[in-house]
Structure 1
């Protein structure tokens, strides 16, 4: 494909009827089929090339009249469009349609892989760099120079007191059985004071790590949302690829995949999983979840997800794959 010369469409007549190259549509650059390149004497800008590629993809998708979902209440006994396409005497047209659609799907799959890699890699790298290059040095400086920074919470103080009490009990047991030399009360107090200072310092470092995690995750989430919100061709290609992969599964495979996801999130073992997930997320950010809040969350959120899931099965999946819906109903009965 010729490189952009910077003079495309700038007043020079194009190869199709005296129009400029910017006005050219699909199949108007001097070729006779989709697997031939355009006239090398014509220069195209990257925007023109992208527009031609998008128009080509749309045209190939429109060649097949059987793309849209049928009405969910009317299912014809005989698909006349499929019969007409199967008996199409224009073999060259059919071959070009199949070849072109395969090329479009292949290109979309490659674009989708690169887009997903960027969608995952860029936010992670950005959050890591921001947290380590900016947040970590600033918070370390504050930790070393400000004794009141990253003060312990009430729960941390209680846990620290329990750790000191356990250390005292351990020392007294060792002295009683002769595994440690006897200590006076003053020596015991000094040892426990030193141990308590170590516990406090560890908890302060833990609070610093929690704040760094919050900064890193916030930057990563903002970057992820910014990339995902951009209406780019890569996002559409990824959406088409995922839809093609799902629709390409058999009805049984669709049903098994849906049942697996539903039972994982909403099965009778899911309550323990939700509890573990809440504790993991809360511990990552240093939050102390209350028991009442956890019970309300586990009792409400899975129910909402279950309702939305069933609504999607009834409205969406029932139109695109009725066989999968029937399989799911049969499995639910057993």
Structure 2
């Protein structure tokens, strides 16, 4: 309705609306059309240039449409992603540039920029790894360790043994008793009375208890240190700095600089390590190592559920990234991966 009324055509109610006069050169400049009037909004509407608009006005509308199209699709890739390698017009233009000196200057400038960016990325990675480790170590040793040691010496109930530790301690005492009786039987140790045996085992049990309490203290210190390190790491990484951008750009440049075969081999290596046939034993060992670091005894049911669910989820997201992301940046690597999977 609005377009028909603008063009002076009959509307649905039977009336005929006269088309508005075109903007004058006085108000719109040399081409008779200014941004903010009808031209800024008419490049995407259904309009008829043969009614009143002059060729300069039509050209102005076309230019505005092209400008808006470039602005909207600036961050979008080519519509046909399969022919992306054939549409690298920048590389073609640089290869056909007759000005050799300018090409050399551009290459030299790009190399210097990449070198500076790589150095900045290395410094940022060093800070990203070093600062959290040092912070966690200093906080745990300067604050947590003295407080926990004081509690360990003055509070006998602090860092009490868990049920699993008590069972393991009882096994250790039983092994010590068996060792002593064997030594007495073969004459390697003097015979002991039952009272002497009981006193020796009681002393040995106290040593086992003290070791387990110190172990519990170490576990708590590890938890404090790792928590401080993780929070520091997350805080540094969340800050939008030039170093972080340089790190991501360098990683992307290194990955994109690999050949399709190298990309495919690296992806297959990571995928088979995490999701291959023998990865189940690796996941079991990793879970026991991480939980043992914090003094947590893994349950068999929890480990089975974790190993049965988490690798499957990782595999789904991994395949989704290959189909969506890698297909766009390196179709040749995707073809190589598919060929390897067939064999």
CA distance in 2, matches of 1:69, 1:223: 40
Within 2, Cα distance between the matches of 1:194 and 1:108? 63
2 CA distance for matches of 1:293 and 1:112?
Answer: 39
RMSD: 1.8
Match of 2:29 in 1: none
Corresponding residue SS for 1:256: helix
Take 1:311 and 1:175, find their aligned partners in 2: how far apart are those partners? 68
Who is 1:198 aligned against?
207
Gaps of at least 5 residues in structure 2 are: 1-73
Tell me, in whole angstroms, the C-alpha distance in 2 between the residues paired with 1:172 and 1:283. 33
Task: Determine if the alignment matches structure 1 residue 260 to structure 2 residue 269.
Answer: yes
Residue number among 318, 321, 337 corresponding to 1:328 in the alignment: 337
**1:70 CA drift (Å):** 7.5
Match of 2:146 in 1: 137
Structure 2 counterpart of 1:215, from 220, 224, 231: 224
Offset at residue 98 of structure 1 (A): 1.7
SS of structure 2 residue aligned to 1:289: coil
Which residue of structure 2 aligns with residue 305 of structure 1? 314
Task: Give the corresponding residue for 2:69.
Answer: none
Q: Deviations over 1:238-271 (max 9, x none)?
A: 1000000000001101111111111111111110
How far, CA to CA, are the matches of 1:293 and 1:168 in structure 2?
A: 35
1: distance between equivalents of 2:156 and 2:279?
43
Given the superposition, is the C-alpha separation of residues 70 and 122 from structure 1 closer, same or farther in structure 2, using an over 3 Å criterion?
A: farther
Matches within 5 A, 1:86-97: 86-97=95-106
1:200-242 residue CA offsets vs partner (Å, 9 max, x unmatched): 0000000000000000000000000000000001100110000
**Contact in 2 for aligned 1:175/1:182 (Cα 8 Å):** yes
**Whole-Å separation in 2 of the counterparts to 1:108 and 1:79:** 24
Measured in 2, the distance between the counterparts of 1:305 and 1:262 equals: 9
**C-alpha spacing 1:75/1:214, structure 2 compared with 1 (3 Å):** closer
> Match of 1:189?
198
CA offsets 1:247-306 (integer angstroms, 9 cap, x no match): 000110111111111111111111000000000011100001111000000110000111
Most deviating of 168-177 and 128-137: 168-177
Q: How far apart, in 2, do the equivalents of 1:257 and 1:70 lie?
A: 28
C-alpha separation between the residues in 1 aligned to 2:113 and 2:77? 18
Q: CA deviation at 1:100?
A: 1.7
Residues 76 and 281 of structure 1: is their aligned pair in 2 closer, same or farther, counting only changes over 3 Å?
closer
Deviations 1:67-90 (A, max 9, x none): 967742444756554333222234
What is the DSSP-based 3-state SS (H/G/I as helix, E as strand, rest coil) of the residue aligned with 2:81? coil
Query: Per the alignment, do residues 74 and 253 of structure 1 end up closer, same or farther by CA in structure 2, a change over 3 Å counting?
Result: closer
Q: Is 80-89 or 165-174 further displaced after alignment? A: 80-89
Shift of 1:120: 0.5
Give runs of aligned pairs for residues 141-152 of structure 1, distance below 5 A: 141-152=150-161
Are 2:119 and 1:110 equivalent residues in the alignment? yes
Tell me if the contact between 1:108 and 1:241 (Cα under 8 Å) persists in the aligned partners: yes
Higher relative contact order (CA 8 A, sep 6+): 1
CA distance in 2, matches of 1:101, 1:69: 25
2:137 maps to which of 128, 146, 156: 128
How far apart, CA to CA, are the structure 2 residues paired with 1:90 and 1:70?
32
Match of 1:22 in 2: none
Task: Give TM-score scaled by structure 1 length.
Answer: 0.77
How far residue 174 of structure 1 moved from its aligned partner, in angstroms, is 1.3
1:83 corresponds to 2:80: no
Q: How does 1:42-61 map to 2 (within 5 A)?
A: none
Q: 5+ unaligned residues in a row in structure 1: which ranges?
A: 1-64
Query: In structure 1, what is the Cα distance between the partners aligned to 2:149 and 2:194?
Result: 36
Q: 1:201 to 1:78 in 2, by over 3 A?
A: closer
Whole-Å Cα distance in 2 between the matches of residues 119 and 293 of structure 1? 33
